[in-house]
Structure 1
Amino acid sequence: MLNPIRVSTKPLLHAQRVFATSIKSFTAVMMGDNPAQQSAPAPALNGSDSASASASTTPLPTPSSTPKPGPQNQNRPQRPPKPAPPPKKEVKILMLHGYTQSGPLFRAKTRALEKLMAKALAPLNLVPALIYPTAPNRLSARDIPGFEVKDGEEGDEEGEIDSWAWWRRDEASGEYRFLEEGMERLVETIRDVEGGVDGVVGFSQGGSVAAVLASAMEEGRTVPEGEKWEWVRRVREANGGRALKFAVVYSGFWAVPQEMGWVYEPKVRTPTLHYLGSLDTVVEEGRSRGLVERCEEPVVVVHPGGHYVPVSKEWVMPLVGFVRKAEAPCHTRCARD
């Protein structure tokens, strides 16, 4: 008969207690507690079991004692904030139509020019604001060059067509009739623009008006006395006493009446840009050159076209460069003035 084998359960119980103690220590570490400060006494063990348990219950390093790596860029110098972009500046420009035209019609004809100017000046933070007034003197159909009355028709003498002029030239005396009314319209227009205007662009008769306006607004220019020239004082007041920075003339001409001599003597000091069409048959080149010669700082551009405003990029870019130069600080001109 075989004797039963007795198996001792003490080693198994000991191993369970050691495992439970290790789990408890690990949990305390993860919870941020220090196992050395726990009040529960460790189980008493004897002999080699005691040494083994001592090794097993060695406290693990706490998270507070473990060095935490900082961010790699903590000590790097911070980049300075980007500077704010410079503010945009409006360049307010009067756009003066020619004889028989109107403000809306002139704008329709120069819309491409307006878009190209805005695109080209945008990198410079310059925003062109174009103002298109309509002249006050309405024309009848008989005033239109080339108009012919058919047999049996009286024609339109009541001025019902949308055609306007800044003045009317008297065929007998050569004087400009209704000039004061035309200039008063500009006084009203400038007065309605907040801060006044910076420059003027004119076509044909409007180009002639542009030169007259620029000259009249110059500081120190002597003007004849009399009610006829009272508009000069008012237009200066409307613009806050500031002269125009530039004048651009397309197919323009100089005002020939003797009473207008003060406009060109001394020469017009305002910087001017003159566009001449080599095929222009409406305004003779000699009349346009006469205006150029009466300006102190003229820039002349000749395009291979007729009596119109060229609006392709090739011919708009000289205008853009001229406006840019006029808006930039000009130490030479400012020192002279």
Structure 2
Amino acid sequence: MPATAAASGTKLRVLVLHGFAQNSYIFKKRTSALQKACRNVVDFVFLNAPIQVKAFPSEANPDPKPPSPSDPEEEQARAWWRQIDDAYIGWDGTARYLQQAFQDHGPFDGVLGFSQGGCLAGILAAALEHPELVPDSPGVFQARPFRFAVSVSGFRPRAPLFDRLMEARIATPMLVIQGREDSIVTPAFTETLVHVCDQVRVAEHDGGHYLPTPAPWRNFLRDFFATFLQDEPGAWRTVPLPMAADDNSDPKL
């Protein structure tokens, strides 16, 4: 598959959604090699989730302080919603935020989301197909469905609020990337999203909870994206998968 854009010079516009307690600055930095590999094919638009949450403990920050609006924006942990039992708290505000983002930065050809953002990628793919079923919707996000969606360590939303939307199923071509050793979003949990997609391809790597970004994976994603610049329906299913030996990546992603 060629690594160049269409002859007209057109590139795809892809919305990027980070995971829970990350932010767009971190995700953009950690996917810089992927962005470079796709520079002739894709313009990525990274959104910063609207809800500030407490950071996860880490070696560098074993006892995170409560979140504060005065924290530097690039250091804030952000989320698309807070989950309490099976309720997604803050979804209504996120829906309004997303509608404005679509107006300001769209329309988008596709979406790539990681973890909670991977769940949101599925929600948005379904929402563009069935806008009348979107809970707490402030209006239609954009007039046409995505041409494709990529969900990395994503899952079907647990909140019953989204049941009608998910039961309508997702027709948009969906690439699901999952880690065989992912203990945060297990392969079984990822399968809950696979089961509501009518056009889906699963790509597995040998690691855990991250987006694999070594050269074989970068090239695979570049070539996957490039198929949507060609007039070859179904070509996205035939892009060769990376070899398992090349799955190593940054586990902190």
Equivalent residue number for residue 265 of structure 1: 167
Going from structure 1 to structure 2, the CA distance change for 1:265 and 1:221 (only over 3 Å counts) comes to: farther
- The runs of at least 4 consecutive aligned structure 1 residues that moved more than 3 Å come to 145-150, 157-161, 330-333
2:123 aligns with one of 176, 201, 212: 212
2:136 aligns with one of 229, 236, 247: 229
Going from structure 1 to structure 2, the CA distance change for 1:332 and 1:148 (only over 3 Å counts) comes to: closer
**Cα deviation digits, residues 166-216 of structure 1 (max 9, x gap):** 000013xx11010122232222222112x6111000000000000100110
Larger-gyration structure (1/2): 1
Amino acid at match of 1:178: G
Going from structure 1 to structure 2, the CA distance change for 1:247 and 1:129 (only over 3 Å counts) comes to: same
Amino acid at match of 2:172: T
Q: How many residues align?
A: 224
Higher relative contact order (CA 8 A, sep 6+): 2
TM-score (norm. length: structure 2):
0.80
**Cα deviation digits, residues 226-281 of structure 1 (max 9, x gap):** xx5223x231xxx3x11110000111111012221122222200000011111111
TM-score (norm. length: structure 1):
0.61
In the aligned structure 2, how far is the partner of 1:254 from the partner of 1:129? 27
> Matched residue of 1:317: which SS?
helix
**Alignment partner of 1:179 is 2:179:** no
In the aligned structure 2, how far is the partner of 1:145 from the partner of 1:254? 26
Which has the larger share of helix?
1
1:318 aligns with one of 220, 226, 234: 220
Which has the larger share of strand?
2
**Alignment partner of 1:289 is 2:210:** no
Going from structure 1 to structure 2, the CA distance change for 1:86 and 1:327 (only over 3 Å counts) comes to: closer
Going from structure 1 to structure 2, the CA distance change for 1:332 and 1:156 (only over 3 Å counts) comes to: closer
Give the conservation status (yes or no) of the 8 Å contact 2:22–2:78: yes
Equivalent residue number for residue 238 of structure 2: none
**Cα deviation digits, residues 102-125 of structure 1 (max 9, x gap):** 11110001001111122xxx4xxx
Q: CA deviation at 1:140?
A: 2.5
> Matched residue of 2:177: which SS?
strand
**Cα deviation digits, residues 49-84 of structure 1 (max 9, x gap):** xxxxxxxxxxxxxxxxxxxxxxxxxxxxxxxxxxxx
> Matched residue of 1:287: which SS?
helix
Equivalent residue number for residue 199 of structure 1: 110
Q: CA deviation at 1:286?
A: 1.1
Give the conservation status (yes or no) of the 8 Å contact 2:20–2:117: yes
Q: CA deviation at 1:93?
A: 0.4
In the aligned structure 2, how far is the partner of 1:268 from the partner of 1:325? 20
Q: CA deviation at 1:145?
A: 6.1
Amino acid at match of 2:140: R
Amino acid at match of 2:92: E
Question: Unaligned stretches of 5+ in structure 2?
Answer: 1-5, 236-253
Question: Unaligned stretches of 5+ in structure 1?
Answer: 1-84
